[in-house]
Structure 1
Amino acid sequence: MTEYQTITFEQAGVVARITLNRPDAANGMNGTMTRELADAAARCDTAATKVVVITGAGRFFCAGGDLKDFASAPSRGRHVKGVADDLHRAISTFARMDAVVITAVNGTAAGAGFSLAVSGDLVLAAESASFTMAYTRVGLSPDGSASYHLPRLIGIAKTKQLMLTNRTLSAQEALQWGLVGEVVADDRLQARADELAEQMAETSAGSNGGVKALLSDTFANGLEQQMELEGRLIAARAESADGREGVDAFLAKRRPKFGAQSAG
């Protein structure tokens, strides 16, 4: 799939940009969008991509699942399961790839949009952005990795508060809660995302992937198991081309040149 109906995909060097592009429907997720998002994620899961920026077109980041789409399906449950499965495939791919995923939350992030927003490795939010779970308001339950990421980010008590009361957090509140890494002025969001993407593009993809892999396993492992993973991974990194270049550059007091910086 090279042409998308509900998202835009742009590759510039090692940076991929994905924009949720249904502004007239608040960038709501329907079956087409989640399939396309999963396909775009797979396209990014190569050595040619070191950074992925995800944002929304228009005033919304993503208002969650497209309820009109859900209601029109002959079998709502089967349709919603398919939509969720494709979204989960995309999020899993983003989580497991070496590329750093930057979510630039330009407006309201509700439901699955909230889930996608906070699944980023680095989360930026515009000052006007807001965050709400919204699932139980329509008799549904969370998806999109919310029940995995939120307890790890903010704990069970605050997660229950968000999921059960559908409290809306401002960007600043989301920053204070630990859901967002940085809040910037609305008119600075794209520029800041670009700056961060350029910074990450100069880093080592293998090292970044190692960080992501270690942190994804840390809550499931005991101390010794996690340290063994750390030891094995740092040894592998020391033998890698990027690891050798990084150490050699440090000792020579020069800037390292990590691989695939100009690949596209």
Structure 2
Amino acid sequence: MSTFKTLLLEVRDGVALLGLNRPDACNAIDETLRAELPIALARVRDDAAIRAVVLYGVGGHFCSGGDLRAMSAKPRTAFESRQRIRALHAWLPEWVNLEKPLIAAVDGAAFGGGFSLALTADFVLASTRASFCQVFARVGLVPDMAALYLLPRIVGLQRAKELALSARVVSAFEALQLGIVHSLYAPEALLDAAIAFARRFTQASPIALGLTKSILNQSMHLDQKALSELECFAQGLCMDSPYHQESVRGFLEGQAPAFAWPAPGAAAASHQPGDIP
């Protein structure tokens, strides 16, 4: 399925695997990768067979941020630099609000724009050797790729200021404590764990999950009345869906639900640190 120069894209049983594929540059974001990400986004968004997405980096690192070598090779005016960032925001909000569960599998470095890209995910699964850094201040820049919006909503305003202004490295274990990371895994187990996590969503209602994610993403800046209206609208759509009607029929007939968490057959007592919660 992949026809990209800097990305790998394949679909396995309803899960799209999107790999940042510039391992020689620690998957730094160059002009080609910038151009291909929104194309890949459109593909996974528009394919109804894709029910969840796993974003990962090839070669032991997630993403080291913007490719400074490539950027410095082409001097830009202040206006041109502004337009360059504005071009990112033509598609980043749609990536954040993709109405499908998005899981980032972070191994190695997630620095700068790579950290920001991880923050766009609904769940960040990380390896024990992962590290995160809002590195922008080290080179006299402000955080970009929506980090100024996403980071304080995840860790709180004061902690976001500390991470952005200090540009210090955050270990995988601290990122877990801060709420940036959902769960940790051994490096060799990370991608399989992320795929297994994503597969749990493939039996859920795509309408219900998409609308739930969309409304939750607006919940921090809308008032209660507006959110109530969105809730009413969304619930009406969901109640009219074949998925809901079939689920109710199955419930009344004593059938197990198609979507359950943890997955049917999973033994809760067997969970170990690093297993999928």
User: Normalization by structure 1: what TM-score?
Assistant: 0.91
8 Å contact from structure 1 (residues 99, 208) kept in 2: yes
Identity across matched positions, percent? 36
Which amino acid in the other structure matches residue 95 of structure 2? F
Q: Distance in 1 between matches of 2:196 and 2:2?
A: 27
8 Å contact from structure 2 (residues 6, 32) kept in 1: yes
How far apart are residue 127 of structure 1 and its match?
0.6
Q: CA-to-partner distance for each residue in 1:47-96, whole Å, 9 max, x for gaps?
A: 22211110001121000000011101142656654653454344322223
8 Å contact from structure 1 (residues 38, 86) kept in 2: no
8 Å contact from structure 1 (residues 60, 108) kept in 2: yes
Which amino acid in the other structure matches residue 6 of structure 1? T
1:101-116 mapped onto 2 (5 Å cutoff): 101-116=102-117
Q: CA-to-partner distance for each residue in 1:16-61, whole Å, 9 max, x for gaps?
A: 1110011111100011101101100010112222111100011210
Q: CA RMSD in A?
A: 1.9
- The answer for the alignment partner of 2:273 in structure 1 is none
Alignment CA distance shift 1:129-1:18 (3 Å): same
- The answer for the alignment partner of 1:48 in structure 2 is 49
Are 1:197 and 2:228 counterparts?
Answer: no
- The answer for the alignment partner of 1:28 in structure 2 is 28
1:67-216 mapped onto 2 (5 Å cutoff): 67-75=68-76, 77=78, 80-81=81-82, 84-216=85-217
Q: CA-to-partner distance for each residue in 1:210-237, whole Å, 9 max, x for gaps?
A: 1111111111111122122112211211
How far apart are residue 13 of structure 1 and its match?
3.7
Which amino acid in the other structure matches residue 5 of structure 1? K
How far apart are residue 241 of structure 1 and its match?
1.6
Alignment CA distance shift 1:10-1:174 (3 Å): same
In the alignment, structure 1 segments of 5+ residues that lack a partner are: 259-264
Aligned length: 258
Q: Distance in 1 between matches of 2:172 and 2:6?
A: 26
Q: Distance in 2 between matches of 1:86 and 1:20?
A: 19
SS of aligned partner of 1:60 = coil
User: Normalization by structure 2: what TM-score?
Assistant: 0.87
Give the stretch that moved more between structures: 90-99 or 189-198: 90-99
How far apart are residue 256 of structure 1 and its match?
4.6
**Which is bigger in relative contact order (C-alpha 8 A, separation at least 6)?**
1
Alignment CA distance shift 1:23-1:232 (3 Å): same
SS of aligned partner of 1:62 = coil
Q: Distance in 1 between matches of 2:179 and 2:77?
A: 34
Alignment CA distance shift 1:239-1:56 (3 Å): same
Q: Distance in 1 between matches of 2:55 and 2:224?
A: 34
- The answer for the alignment partner of 2:15 in structure 1 is 15
Which amino acid in the other structure matches residue 227 of structure 1? S
Give the stretch that moved more between structures: 164-173 or 243-252: 243-252
Q: Distance in 2 between matches of 1:113 and 1:235?
A: 38
How far apart are residue 257 of structure 1 and its match?
5.2
Q: Distance in 1 between matches of 2:202 and 2:230?
A: 25
How far apart are residue 155 of structure 1 and its match?
1.1
Q: Distance in 2 between matches of 1:78 and 1:10?
A: 37
